[in-house]
């Protein structure tokens, strides 16, 4: 049964990889221009080989590197806590017990992601550079051997194939993996290994590798071969190329994150719109730079024309070199040795190169993703600032939306699922729910809020709207003071205060606390006013009494 299942899996594997052969060729060309250290789709990179020796201009590599780095700094800023767990239901999210547990979940997830052993930062950086160059990345998330931490690994796109389910999400992945004998023994046990692997293990061969596949397949495709526990949705299978199954486990979470940038209906594999626009310019730029380099060399060291039989010695163009001319040659017939004037305009070529580089910059969004900090310290009107922010959001959204949805959001969702199943949020019941989770959170959709440059831009829109609204209200109150009752200024202020960059959420008390404080202040002011009125009455009574005494004294006198 296992052999039949393994052979069927390898037939599926063969079909999936055969359909992406032309894509690997295209990715090879992309990598050679933009990502030379990744250019091993159709050829192997030899250790010690100079990756970019075929390039005459490195600018395409620089713009890809800049975009890949900017993606990380935009969605995962290192100067702030860039995510927090929340509940999609606003009433639940405001509950104090729910907030405390959600903050606890946020702290646990952050500790896992940034632990030294998880490999998240390295995997995230590699995935974001694959995303910028090829339009998609492949990240595997698994438990470590002790199940007390998660491991993140980004795999080379050439080794990956997959397809999506009826909902349009990736749900089936095949990965080529070359494994050493001792690694296979550690993962699967020596008894399950094929004979060639066992022989290498006995020889203590630590260099030879053996080909295998790691397959995550939906149970509705795989389950005819084996029944898995209730709740499992995938089969986690390792199989050799001859169909020998090394591991066959139920999976309750889909352990691959496959962010896709731009997709075309009917096609599973995505592409990078930056590279699609830029690759013609990258090809042209390499040819242009070679031409300019040759033209510059000809200007500095031009080719020579020598009259036949007039030059009687080898041409010596070195400093203080001597070239002998036949003494009987008549110079009136033309110089015996002269430089060729090619009339090249090197400056024009440089202008064309700069134009090509500017096009590459625009293609990779680098001129669109200027940091919002550029607004700080500049004297602009509220309207100008709002227009600049809106322009930034328009340009950033095509890049941010797929990343937040399919990359950072998918990562945090998977981390939450795996940590919860492993008891990372505390002991779980038989349904896999933490027993310490407040009842109000049960059955709720736990989402994540992101704190990045796009959120900062949206917050600036709120602040600019507050400032403009306040100016309009102030102008209206100058004509009619009663207009103040038409605007909920407290809600305006709370929204704008919460959007101030660098502000903290706990600086703003809840509405209930604010209402209680405002009522206490009003009561205190009323008491003070009453005491003041009593004091004024006593003062008037005293004045009246003094006047009466003075009148009585005058009458007696």
Domain layout of the chain by residue ranges: 304-339, 509-557
462: number of CA atoms within 13 Å, CB side?
17
In this structure, is the dihedral angle defined by the CA atoms of residues 505, 506, 512 and 514, taken in order, positive or negative?
Answer: negative
SS3 content of the chain, % helix, strand, coil (to 5): 55, 15, 30
DSSP state of 506: G
- Predicted local confidence at residue 112, as pLDDT: 94
- Predicted local confidence at residue 129, as pLDDT: 96
Q: Closest by alpha carbon to 174, among 187, 159, 188?
A: 159
How far apart, in whole angstroms, are the C-alpha atoms of residue 84 and residue 107?
8
DSSP state of 343: -
DSSP state of 45: P
Contact 173, 315 (CB under 8 A): no
Q: What is the CA radius of gyration of the chain?
A: 37
Q: Closest by alpha carbon to 197, among 187, 237, 208?
A: 208
How far apart, in whole angstroms, are the C-alpha atoms of residue 213 and residue 248?
12
- Predicted local confidence at residue 386, as pLDDT: 59
How far apart, in whole angstroms, are the C-alpha atoms of residue 482 and residue 466?
20
Structure tokens at 404: 């937040």
- The tens place of each residue's pLDDT in the chain, 557 residues long, gives 457 888 889 999 999 999 998 999 999 999 999 999 999 999 888 877 788 888 889 999 999 999 999 888 888 887 778 888 988 887 887 788 888 899 999 999 999 999 989 999 999 999 999 999 999 999 999 998 788 899 999 999 999 999 999 888 999 999 999 999 998 998 888 888 888 899 999 898 888 899 999 999 999 888 665 678 888 899 999 999 888 899 999 999 999 999 999 998 889 999 999 999 999 999 999 988 888 877 777 777 778 888 887 887 888 777 877 888 877 777 777 787 887 776 566 676 788 888 989 999 989 988 877 655 455 555 666 556 556 666 666 666 777 778 888 899 999 999 999 999 888 998 888 777 888 898 898 888 888 888 766 666 666 667 777 777 888 878 888 888 887 788 888 777 776 666 665 555 556 666 677 777 777 787 777 777 777 766 665 565 566 566 556 656 655 65
Ramachandran category for residue 476: left, alpha or beta (phi over 0 → left; psi -120 to 50 → alpha): alpha
C-alpha to C-alpha distances, 459 to 247, 374, 524, nearest whole angstrom: 50, 15, 36
- Predicted local confidence at residue 504, as pLDDT: 55
Contact 201, 190 (CB under 8 A): yes
Stated as kind and residue range, the H or E segment containing 134 is helix 120-134
How far apart, in whole angstroms, are the C-alpha atoms of residue 137 and residue 154?
7
Phi then psi for 142, rounded to 5 degrees? -140, 165
Measure the CA angle with vertex 173, ends 167 and 175; round to 5°.
Answer: 165
3-state secondary structure 222-234: HHHHCCCCCCCCE
How far apart, in whole angstroms, are the C-alpha atoms of residue 521 and residue 519?
5
How far apart, in whole angstroms, are the C-alpha atoms of residue 363 and residue 277?
6
Q: Is 510 exposed, middle or buried (0-12, 13-18, 19+ CB in 10 A)?
A: exposed
- Predicted local confidence at residue 1, as pLDDT: 42
- Predicted local confidence at residue 218, as pLDDT: 93
- Predicted local confidence at residue 387, as pLDDT: 61
Stated as kind and residue range, the H or E segment containing 349 is helix 346-363
How far apart, in whole angstroms, are the C-alpha atoms of residue 392 and residue 155?
33
- Predicted local confidence at residue 379, as pLDDT: 63
């Amino acid at each position: 049964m296992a052999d039949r299942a393994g052979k069927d899996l390898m037939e599926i594997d063969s079909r999936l990889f055969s359909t992406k052969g032309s894509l690997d060729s295209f990715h090879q060309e992309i990598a050679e221009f933009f990502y030379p250290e990744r250019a091993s789709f159709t050829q192997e990179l030899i250790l010690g080989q100079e990756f970019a020796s075929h390039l005459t201009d490195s600018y395409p590599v620089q713009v890809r590197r800049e975009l890949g780095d900017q993606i990380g700094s935009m969605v995962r800023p290192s100067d702030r806590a860039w995510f927090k767990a929340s509940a999609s239901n606003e009433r639940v999210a405001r509950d104090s017990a729910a907030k405390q547990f959600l903050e606890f979940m946020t702290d646990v997830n952050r500790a896992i992601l940034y632990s030294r052993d998880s490999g998240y930062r390295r995997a995230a950086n590699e995935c974001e550079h694959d995303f910028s160059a090829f339009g998609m990345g492949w990240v595997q998330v698994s438990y470590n051997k002790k199940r007390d931490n998660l491991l993140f690994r980004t795999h080379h796109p050439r080794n990956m194939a997959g397809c999506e389910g009826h909902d349009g999400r990736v749900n089936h992945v095949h990965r080529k993996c070359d494994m050493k004998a001792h690694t296979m023994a550690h993962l699967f046990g020596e008894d399950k290994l094929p004979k060639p692997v066992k022989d290498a293990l006995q020889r203590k061969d630590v260099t030879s590798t053996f080909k295998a596949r790691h397959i995550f397949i939906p149970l509705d495709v795989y389950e005819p071969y084996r029944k898995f526990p209730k709740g499992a949705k995938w089969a986690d299978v390792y199989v050799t190329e001859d169909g020998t199954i090394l591991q066959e486990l139920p999976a309750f979470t889909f352990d691959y994150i496959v962010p896709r940038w731009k997709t075309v209906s009917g096609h599973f594999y995505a592409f990078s719109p930056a590279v699609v626009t830029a690759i013609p310019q990258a090809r042209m730029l390499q040819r242009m730079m070679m031409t300019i380099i040759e033209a510059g060399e000809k200007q500095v060291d031009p080719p020579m024309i020598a009259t036949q039989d007039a030059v009687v010695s080898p041409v010596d163009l070195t400093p203080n070199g001597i070239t002998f001319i036949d003494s009987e040659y008549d110079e009136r017939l033309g110089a015996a040795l002269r430089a060729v004037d090619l009339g090249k305009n090197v400056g024009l070529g440089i202008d064309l190169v700069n134009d090509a580089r500017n096009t590459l910059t625009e293609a990779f969004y680098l001129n669109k993703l200027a940091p919002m900090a550029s607004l700080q310290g500049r004297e602009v009107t509220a309207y100008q600032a709002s227009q600049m922010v809106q322009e930034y959001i328009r340009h950033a959204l095509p890049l941010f939306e797929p990343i937040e949805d399919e990359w950072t959001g998918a990562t945090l969702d998977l981390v939450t699922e795996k940590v919860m199943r492993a008891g990372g949020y505390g002991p779980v019941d038989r349904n896999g729910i933490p027993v310490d989770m407040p009842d109000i959170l049960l059955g709720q959709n736990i989402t994540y809020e992101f704190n990045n440059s796009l959120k900062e831009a949206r917050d600036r829109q709120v602040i600019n709207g507050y400032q403009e609204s306040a100016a309009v209200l102030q102008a209206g109150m100058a004509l009619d003071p009663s207009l103040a009752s038409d605007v909920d200024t407290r809600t305006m202020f709370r929204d704008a205060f919460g959007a101030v960059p660098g502000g903290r959420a706990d600086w703003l008390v809840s509405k209930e606390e604010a209402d209680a404080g405002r009522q206490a202040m009003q009561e205190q002011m009323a008491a003070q006013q009453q005491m003041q009125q009593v004091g004024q009455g006593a003062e008037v009574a005293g004045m009246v009494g003094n006047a009466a005494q003075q009148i009585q004294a005058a009458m007696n006198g």
